[in-house]
Amino acid sequence: AAAKETKTLDTKPIDYNEVYQAIADILEDNDILTWLHYRSYDDGSLGPVFVRLAWHASGTYDVETKTGGSNGATMRFQPESLHAANNGLAIARDRLEPIKKKFPEISYGDLWTLAGVCAVQELGGPTVPWRAGRQDVEDGKTCTPDGRLPDAGQGERHIRDIFYRMGFDDQEIVALAGAHSLGRCHPDRSGFEGPWQEAPTVFSNEYYKALRDRKWVKKTVKASGAQQWVDKKNPDVMMLPAEIAMYNDKGFKKFFNEYADSEEKFFTDFSKVFNKLLELGVPFKGDEKVYHFKATTA
C-alpha cells in the first residue's frame, strides 16, 4: 500500500490546458522547410487535418456492437492505418508526436480528440466541451473493419446508413458536415480536389451558404478521374457527390438551409454534436472534469 501511495504522489496529473496550448502553438508554422518537408500546411494551418483525424478516430463507432470510436486509438495500427478513408492522416498523427513526447501520460485517443477541439476553437469555431478518459490499446487486434466511414462517392442513403450506425439523426449529420468549412480535398488522399469555399482556415457557416447559393456543375478531377462538383463561377471550390445528394434530399435540406441562415445556430449545434462524436464509446467513469478550453485567439 505504501508503494502505491508513493506512485500516486509521484504522478503529476496532466494539465490539459497546457496540452491545448501546446497544440495551438504548432497549428501554424512559418518555417518554409517545415512546410515543404511535411506538405501538411496546405492553406497555412494544420487545424483542418487535425479535425479530420479526430473525426476518423471517432466515427468508426457502432452503437449496436459498441465497437470502434476514439477509445483505443486503433488507427495507429494496421490494418486501420491503411484504410483508404484514412489516407493522409499519418501526417496529422506524426505532427502530434512531439506533443505526446512532451506529455507522455496522455493517451493517443485523448490527444487526437483534444487536437480536433483545439483546431475548431483556434480557427474561430465554438467552444467544444472535452473530457479525458480514452485508454490506448497495445496492438491492432481491436481495429475496426474497413468501410465504417462515409464514402464520398455515394448518395444520401449510404450517408444515413453510416451515420445512423454511429447513433446520429439527420439534423446531427448535417451539423457535423459543416466541419467542411475547414480544409480541402487532396487528389493523392481521396481523389477529390480543392476546398469547399474560399476561406478553409476559418470555421464558419460558409459551407452551408456555398451549397445553398452557388451553381454547382460536374467536373472530373484530372489527376484521379474522380467526379466532383465545382462552383460554376469559381471552379477551384468543390462539393463531393455525397454532399450534393444530401442537399437534394428533402429531409436533409431544411437543416442545411437553417445553418446557412444562422451561424449562431450552427455553432451551438456543432459544439454539441462534435462533443458527442468524440465521446462515442469512451468508457467514462462519470467523475471526469469537463474542460471548456479558452481559445488563444479569442
Site of interaction with ligand DDH (CB under 6 A): 42, 48-49, 51-52, 55, 88, 150, 152, 159, 176-177, 179-180, 182-186, 189-190, 192, 240, 242, 274
**Comparison of 237 and 240: residue with beta carbon closer to ligand DDH:** 240
For strand 184-185 and strand 216-220, is the pairing parallel, antiparallel, or unpaired? unpaired
Q: What is the 3-state secondary structure (H, E, C) of 233-252?
A: CCCCCEECHHHHHHHCCHHH
Residue nearest to ligand DDH (CB): 183
Closest separation between CB of residue 126 and ligand DDH, Å?
A: 13
Closest separation between CB of residue 177 and ligand DDH, Å?
A: 5
Cβ atoms of 189 and 210 closer than 8 Å: no
Specify whether 186 is catalytic: no
Burial of 139 (0-12, 13-18, 19+ CB in 10 A): exposed
**Comparison of 55 and 108: residue with beta carbon closer to ligand DDH:** 55
Cβ atoms of 50 and 118 closer than 8 Å: yes
- Write down the catalytic residue from 55, 130, 196, 229: 196
The three grid cell numbers given for residue 136, joined into one nine-digit string? 490506448
Specify whether 196 is catalytic: yes
**Comparison of 103 and 258: residue with beta carbon closer to ligand DDH:** 258
**Comparison of 107 and 201: residue with beta carbon closer to ligand DDH:** 201
Cβ atoms of 173 and 274 closer than 8 Å: no
- Write down the catalytic residue from 56, 83, 180, 186: 56
Q: Which residues are catalytic?
A: 56, 196
